[in-house]
Amino acid sequence: MLQHAESKWLRRPQSHANLPLPAAIIGIPFSRWGAGPFIVHPIAYPPDCREQMSRAKRTQSTPVSKVMNPVQIALGWKQMLAEDEALTMSKIAGNVGISRTRVTQIMNLLYLPEEVVTYVSSLTAKEDLRHFSERTLRRILTMKGTLARLAAFRQMQRLDPALVSDESQIVP
């Protein structure tokens, strides 16, 4: 039934010898704070509970990564800030569940040239959104001058999407 090492640890006291064996006995073998084994009783679930849980698991779809347009998000937040004077970037961050600095990073995309903002906000295809990701747009934002930013953006438009991750392809 029990092996020798376990039997020493899980031995029942003589006062409980006449009680029936529980569903499971869990011991804490190397505890230094004097905790002894304790009894865990099974939880009685309704008969249809397992069916409902298995049905729920089957109906849940696998998580799909949704590619969101960061410029559209920033434009939406800008509109919310304009409509509600009491709203701040900190409150937006709290509502969305991200940090305030992350909200600032996304809002800074609105400092791109107007042509870039309108073009990127009109994109809907996943491939295009991945091509003009937030990271690549922030890289354009670090360039000095509107003309350099526009030149880098136009070069990105000409590039193959597979080459965008190569930073040497973008020349200011």
Could you write out the DSSP letters of every residue in 31-87?
A: -SS----EEEPPP---TTHHHHHHHHHHHSPPP------HHHHHHHHHHHHHH-TT-
- Give CA separation, 163 vs 40, 76, 127, in Å: 59, 30, 13
Largest CA distance in the chain: 89
Residue 3: name the closest of 38, 34, 27 by CA. Answer: 27
Q: Which CATH number fits domain 70-164: 3.40.50, 3.30.300, 1.10.10, 2.60.40?
A: 1.10.10
Q: What is the pLDDT of residues 55-102, one digit of tens each?
A: 666 655 555 556 688 888 899 889 988 888 888 888 888 888 889 999
pTM for the predicted model, two decimal places = 0.53
User: Which DSSP state fits 11?
Assistant: P
- Cα(51)–Cα(17) distance, rounded to whole angstroms? 38
- Does residue 172 surpass a pLDDT of 50? no
- Does residue 126 surpass a pLDDT of 60? yes
> Which of 5-14, 46-55, 98-107 comes out lowest in average pLDDT?
5-14
Q: Would you list the domain boundaries of the chain? A: 4-45, 70-164
- Decide if 106 contacts 93 (C-beta within 8 A): no
- Cα(154)–Cα(165) distance, rounded to whole angstroms? 16
